[in-house]
Amino acid sequence: MSIHTAKRSRPLSPNVQIYRPQLTSVLSILNRITGVAVSGGAVALVIWLVTAAAGPQAYDVLQGAIASWIGQVVLFGTTFAFFLHLCGGIRHLVWDTVHGFELRSIYISGWVVVAASIVLTSAAWVISFLMKG
Amino acid sequence: MRSSLARAIGLGSAREGVGPWWAERISAVALIPLTLWFAASIIAHTGSDYTTFVAWLRTPLVATLMILLVAAVFHHTALGLQVVIEDYVHSGAKFAAVIAVRLGCLALAIAGFVATLRIAFSG
């Protein structure tokens, strides 16, 4: 009898697909998604160091891959994911000190994270472009 | 001088309690200056050739910071990915996935150390 009870589909509590996306929930899941994305960047960091240690030929091959349009798109995405995770992470560290939990503070810090990530990503690419000359 | 209750609170059934939670935060704080230093350095080296880049990486301060960056990155990545796996993977694959992430992060960190040291101590 207990087996039949377990197999019957039970009503589920409302989940993410029911609720309208809000800044709070979107930033929450983005912090996790960007964390996973930046893990890919961490793997790239090691590949980059290993090719540099292997010598100029291997390093040039990697530089060529990064300079390709797909490499630049991935690098741009990783840059934005990194800054969003960095700013979102600092927001979490502030929360860990039991500060900024009022609804108004949460929305202000949320929009600051979005704005800072866009500004930092843009600044990084503009300065890098200017450095190239 | 602590009561039995005070000693037990926060330890959990595994007796390790909040250890990984703290480790994730401490590595996060370390990563703020380290990643910003790295990002600024990479931007400053846009268009640099191999020789210039290796000469930069060979200086003791840069090699030290690079090893600290790799260590903090993979410590934080292993902790973060483990939480993600534990939240979404509920089958028997959970244990295998956590082990794979931990060993993978350890291997990548060691590869990063060896590569950095090889550049730092070469010729």
Could you report the per-residue pLDDT of A9-63, keeping only the tens digit for each?
Answer: 777 776 767 778 899 999 999 999 999 999 999 999 999 999 999 999 999 999 9
Which residues numbered 62-121 in B keep a CB inside 8 Å of some CB on A?
Answer: 66, 69-70, 73-74, 77, 80-81, 84, 108-109, 111-112, 114-116, 118-119
Q: Say if residue A1's pLDDT is above 60.
A: no
Domain boundaries along the sequence of chain B: 19-121
Would you state the structure tokens that stand for residue A58, as one six-digit string? 């291997």
Residue in chain A closest to B74 (alpha carbons) equals A42
Token representation of residue A4: 């039949």
**Measured between beta carbons, which residues in chain B are less than 8 angstroms from residue A50?**
111-112, 115
CATH fold group of domain B19-121: 3 helical TM bundles of succinate and fumarate reductases (1.20.1300)
Q: What is the pLDDT of residues B95-120, one digit of tens each?
A: 999 999 999 999 999 999 999 999 99
CA distances to A21, A86, A107 from A110, in Å: 14, 13, 5
User: pLDDT, tens digit, for every residue of B37-90?
Assistant: 999 999 999 888 899 999 999 999 999 999 999 999 999 999 999 999 999 998
d(CA A27, CA A59): 36
How high is the ipTM of this complex? 0.87
What's the pLDDT tens digit per position in A78-113? 999 999 999 999 999 999 999 999 999 999 999 999
Considering only alpha carbons, which residue of chain B is nearest residue A96? B25
Q: Where are the domains of chain A?
A: 22-132
The arrangement of secondary structure in A22-132, i.e. its CATH architecture, is: Up-down Bundle (1.20)
Alpha-carbon span B4 to B14, nearest angstrom: 17
Regarding pTM above 0.90, the answer is no
